[in-house]
Structure 1
Amino acid sequence: MQLKLDLQFFAGEKTEKATPKKRQDSRKKGQVAKSQDINTAFLLFFCFLLLSVFGSNMGSGLTALYKTAFTEYIHWDLTESNVHQVFVEGTIETAKIIAPIMGIAIVAGLVSNFTQIGFLFTTEPLKIDLKKLDPIQGAKRIFSARALVELAKSLFKIVFMGLITFGLIWFYKDDMMMISFKTAESALSFFGQITIIMGIAAALTLLFIAVFDYAYQKFDFEKNIKMSKNDIKDEHKNMEGDPLIKSKIKEKQRQMAARRMMSEVPTADVVITNPTHFAIAIKYDEAKASAPFVVAKGMDHTALRIKEIAKKNHVMTVENRQLARALYSAIDIGNSIPEEYFQAVAEVLAYVYRLEKKV
């Protein structure tokens, strides 16, 4: 009894790699190995790279908007049409300035996700799941091993990024001390350059950390989708169908085929018997075939049913043990009589026709 329980325990333990179907089902649910740090690193890097190239133009655009606001708009009368015009023009100019940032952010997000998981569109994660509101399950997630790993990872990122930022500030500390001797425009330009350098450095650092995070996410994902031996058996059973159900379907199909076969017996010209073990119903119809063909056959109980139906419908029964056994083994239902049995079957049919006065 104990051995049986141990076997059941090991069979239910998730030790097997996920099957392709399991992976496909998980992917449809939105469960994939993905590092959010890679998305953030791509986003930061491309945004700051864009600022380094087009930052001066964006700054000029903002300056022009401020000049227009405080040299032209400020003198306009406060009317509904003027407010509407200011709002429209300001929105358009602001959109022109931030459009490159928004565009590169969308592209970076798509590229980072496509790089990790390829193309995936699913609405499964958006479905309402009341289990997520369970406070007990929520507490388990908060104090789980994964939560501790995420906490340690966040602390490491904060410390590492802080060191990078502090190092850059320390490197440029002498230039910062001289800011008071520069114009406001020069000071803003200097701090803009420092900010871009810090942003790109932070993005590259985060990307370096994200490589290890992705490896961990991949490992954790593979661990979570592992299957037990019972899971694999159940999946195989579901894919091929339950053997019990399949056997019932086959039995139903055999019964339907038997009923169709029995319905053809009344149309036969003769039933050749063994006399008890085999029964072969034969029909000759020149419009359907050039040779006699089998409309029904069976052995034992089925043979008995064929003879009973033949008797009720006045179909002649002829006993020929050797011929009945040979035809049963050699011919399937619906097939014509082979050439080697033409003479024997023809003699039987001729005998039947004579008795029925058909010739």
Structure 2
Amino acid sequence: MEWSINLQLFAEDEKTEKATPRKRKKAREEGQVLQSREINTSLTLLAAFVLLFLLSSHYGSTMMNVSHYVFDEFMLGDHLFTIKNIQALTLTLIAAILIMTMPLALVVLVIGVTCSFLQVGFLISSKPLQPKLSKLNPIKGLKKLFSLEKVMELFKSLIKIFLIGFVIFRYITSQLGTIFSLMEREIEQSIAIVSQITLNIGLRAGAVLVLLAVLDYYYQKYEHEKKLKMSKQEVKDEHKQVEGDPKIKSKIRQKQMQISMRRMMQEIPKADVVITNPTHYAIAVRYAPEQYAAPVVVAKGQNLVAQNIKKIAEEHGIPMVENRALARVLYDTVEIGDLIPPDLYEAVAGVLAYVYQLDSKQMKEARR
């Protein structure tokens, strides 16, 4: 018996259920979102090398102009090494560096922000930055260091190094002839060839990183869903928090039914007639032409409630008319406080006419 209870508790604590929308929203507010940093890194690196490839001629001419200014005009020219001239040289170099790096920096920034936005959306959360004393626990730190997540990160890093190293090695071996011939070429040609080889290496490495980033995204998605999974008990507890405890809700419904029943019973003395089944159903109907366009049901009930309706009607001298079919139809189709539907006007009007005729006859007999 004890074993079966423990197994049941273990099954309830096992996280097998998908995360609810409320759990996902709470996790997002705490900064726990699906995001692959590999996508940001790979696309940023690839974009940087593509931009370098497209602007390589511009960068080359800019560097040549800067070198010409520094060596030909400044160092070999008539410029004196005064503080003013050195400041002017420094400002020129800074301006040239900014002109060269600003497009690259802007592209990298836009790519990084766009990748994060496409993965996460607009999210501002300070909770991940809040200090937690649990992070200072050395035991938890060691467990996290040797956890399966860290092992997978190490495995991914090794795969990344191996694939990128393999691609770069294959490319360099194919360019060995060109590399060995650099000694025989002019400096400008050598710089152009080295720049081209470097750009090709970057583009190939970036392409490999993009491929690995796509795989990493699906892995991160799997891990994210796994972390968000809930146990059956957690789902039950959340349902109680959102919908309320079933026991409390049952008591509230019971209280509401008692209040509505009390109000209904208070309306019975205002009725003109009670239509019965005769034992199972009782419907109290009131007709007030100055208030309603048609007769209205002020109370209805079945079995014990029907008996209470008839008892109150008898105490207040309200006539009761037996009409099995009409009583059943009114009970099934008309709610308390609703007007009689047009298709039942004739039947209810007949009952009310009978009651008014009966009241008139009783009044004449009373006068005699």
Distance 1:66 1:258 in 2: 96
Report the Cα distance in structure 1 between the residues aligned to 2:300 and 2:166, rounded to whole angstroms: 89
Q: In 2, Cα distance between the equivalents of 1:224 and 1:208?
A: 25
Indicate whether 1:53 and 2:54 are aligned.
yes
Distance 1:126 1:319, change over 3 A: closer
Percent identity of equivalent pairs: 34
- 1:8 equivalent in structure 2: 9
Secondary structure of residue in 2 paired with 1:100: helix
The alignment status of 1:96 with 2:99, answered yes or no, reads: yes
User: Equivalent residue for 1:133?
Assistant: 135
Q: Which moved more, 1:130-139 or 1:23-32?
A: 23-32
The 3-state SS of whatever aligns with 1:15 is strand
State which drifts further: 39-48 or 89-98: 89-98
Q: Decide whether the 8 Å contact of 2:268 with 2:312 is kept in 1.
A: no
| Equivalent pairs, count | 349
Q: Quote the residue 1:339 is aligned against.
A: 346
Q: 1:353 to 1:103 in 2, by over 3 A?
A: farther
**What's the counterpart of residue 149 of structure 2?**
146
What secondary structure does 2:123 align onto? Answer: coil
1:282 aligns with 2:279: no
Matches within 5 A, 1:112-131: 112-113=115-116, 117=119, 120-124=121-125, 126-127=127-128, 128=130, 130=132
Q: State how far apart, in whole Å, the 2-side matches of 1:206 and 1:51 are.
A: 18
User: Which AA in structure 2 matches 1:142?
Assistant: L
* 2-structure distance, mates of 1:97, 1:270: 95
Aligned partner of residue 257 in structure 1, secondary structure: helix
1:147 shift after superposition: 0.5
CA–CA separation in structure 2 for the residues paired with 1:282 and 1:166: 94
Gaps of 5+ in 2: none
C-alpha distance in 2, partners of 1:289/1:210? 72
Contact 1:271 1:310 in 2 (8 A): no
Q: Do 1:45 and 1:199's aligned partners in 2 also have CA atoms closer than 8 Å? A: yes
Cα distance between partner residues in 2 of 1:307 and 1:53: 96
Q: CA deviation at 1:51?
A: 0.8
The whole-number CA distance in structure 2 between the counterparts of 1:290 and 1:303 is 29
**Partner Cα distance (1:295, 1:84) in 2:** 97
- 2-structure distance, mates of 1:93, 1:174: 35
Contact preservation (8 Å) 1:14, 1:229: yes
TM-score between the two structures when normalised by the length of structure 1: 0.72
Ranges in structure 1 where 5+ consecutive residues have no aligned partner = none
Matched residue of 1:294: which SS? strand
The aligned residue for residue 161 of structure 2 is: 158
Q: Decide whether aligned partners of structure 1 residues 63 and 255 sit closer, same or farther in structure 2, where only a CA change above 3 A counts.
A: farther
Matches within 5 A, 1:317-336: 317-320=318-321, 322-323=322-323, 327=327, 330-331=330-331, 332=334, 333-334=336-337, 335-336=339-340
Amino acid in the other structure paired with 2:112 = G
Distance 2:281 2:181 in 1: 113
Q: Matched residues in 1 for 2:294 and 2:166: separation?
A: 96
C-alpha separation between the residues in 1 aligned to 2:114 and 2:320? Answer: 82
**Cα distance in 1, alignment partners of residues 88 and 248 from structure 2:** 72
Name the CA distance, whole Å, in 2 between partners of 1:45 and 1:233: 47
Measure how far apart 1:126 and its partner are: 4.8
User: 1:220/1:319 Cα in 2 relative to 1: closer, same or farther (>3 Å)?
Assistant: closer
Query: In 1, Cα distance between the equivalents of 2:42 and 2:330?
Result: 75
Counterpart contact for 1:261–1:296, Cα < 8 Å: yes
CA contact (8 A) 2:271 2:318 kept: no
Q: Encode CA deviations 1:283-321: one digit per residue, 9 max, x unaligned.
A: 22122345543323446468648866996xxx533355x
Give the Å deviation of 1:199.
1.2
Rounded to whole Å, the distance in 1 between the matches of 2:88 and 2:250 is 76
